[in-house]
A and B are shown apart, each in its own frame.
Chain A
Amino acid sequence: MTQPSPEVPPQKKHVPVWAQAIVWVGVIALFGVVALGLRRTQQGTVQVGETAPDFTLTTFPGYDYEGVSQVKLSDLKGKIVVINFWASWCKPCEQEANDLEEAWRIYQPEGDVVFLGVDYVDTEPEALGYLEKFDITFANGADLGTRISQAFRIKGVPETYFIDRDGVIHYIQVGPFQSLSQITSVIDSLKAK
């Protein structure tokens, strides 16, 4: 009878330190990128009470604001600003187009209320056709590079933001307005502040 050979512990294969370091750095970097993306996704839109993100709107030909084709939001401090995100392919946007234009015509003579239309991921010919169709006269421009919509973190169109004279978001309308009075009541409350 042979003696059982003493057990030899299995030879451990050591992973090089440099390889471990690369893998861990890669995994941590990947988690970091995912975390940043999730944080941004869960941030939601800008909230009432926050300062409205500053932006510059390049207007369509014929749709500038008082002769200015590059309208900067921070230059409008002291005025009440209504920012409306829309698109020509957006059917709900058509529901409120007439009411927005009517509200603009009510407050335009006073000079302290500004309407800005931001055209979201659209083509210029279609956008201009939409503005003509609804006889829109207030300042409108394309959201170039989607910078403005990303700054406001909008979820879709239409969305409308009412900014007070200090540049703070006073009210947010997600979806189309149901009536002209819905728009005027918000503006009147801002004027009364």
Chain B
Amino acid sequence: MKRHLWLLPILLVLSALWAGTAFAQDPTPSDNEVNRIAKQLFCPVCENTPLDVCPTQACAQWRALIREKLAAGWTDEQIKQYFVDQYGARVLSEPPRTGLNWLVYLVPPILFVVGVVILVRTFRPSKEAAVEDASHASSEVSPISSEPASDEYVARLEDELKKRK
């Protein structure tokens, strides 16, 4: 037994290390995780500047706030809602789908579809036009026969030309 007493301090050290790993801290959210949310938000002060690329001290504070909320276990939606409650809906890069904001999502695709329909109808030759063209082609002979005066004129012109040759 005494021969193995030298093992005791080693075992004590190892057990302390083992116990230490049970109290490991929660991992700090990475920059990518913070920016995943930050790019969905605008700087509340700067015009049209996404929060993930805004260089100001205030924006750094807001990104730190996002990091703090993520570390506390908040979801992306909870964090975005917090920013809306604090700074208004204008901080969202995508307008919330409520009330008149629906116009932003519905009007452009509707206008696009209507525009495509107009273009297609404008540039596609219609069947009616094809039928009318055909009828015009067949009736091209009749104007000559129905205009005897012009036939006579043409005939006289040809006679004059023959005389001059």
Contact = CB atoms under 8 A, between A and B. Distances in A.
A142 interface: yes
Nearest to A89: B58
A144 B89 CA distance: 11
B21 interface: no
A19 B58 CA distance: 48
B150 A29 contact: no
B88 A22 contact: no
B121 A144 contact: no
In the A-B complex, list the 4 residue pairs whose CB atoms are closest, starting with the nearest: A89-B58, A121-B44, A146-B88, A11-B129
Contacts of A122: 58
Given A16-B121, A142-B86, 19 more contacts: A1-B154, A3-B147, A5-B136, A5-B143, A11-B126, A11-B129, A13-B122, A15-B118, A15-B121, A19-B118, A22-B111, A26-B111, A30-B107, A33-B103, A89-B56, A123-B65, A126-B61, A146-B44, A150-B88
A1 B85 CA distance: 85
A23 interface: yes
22 contacts: A1-B158, A3-B143, A5-B136, A8-B136, A11-B129, A15-B121, A19-B117, A22-B110, A22-B114, A23-B111, A23-B118, A87-B58, A89-B45, A89-B57, A121-B58, A123-B62, A126-B61, A144-B86, A145-B84, A145-B85, A145-B86, A146-B87
Interface residues of B, number: 37
A15 B121 CA distance: 7
Q: Name the residue among A8, A13, A144, A147 with the largest chain B CB count within 10 angstroms.
A: A13
Interface string A121-137: 11100100000000000
A111 interface: no
A6 interface: yes
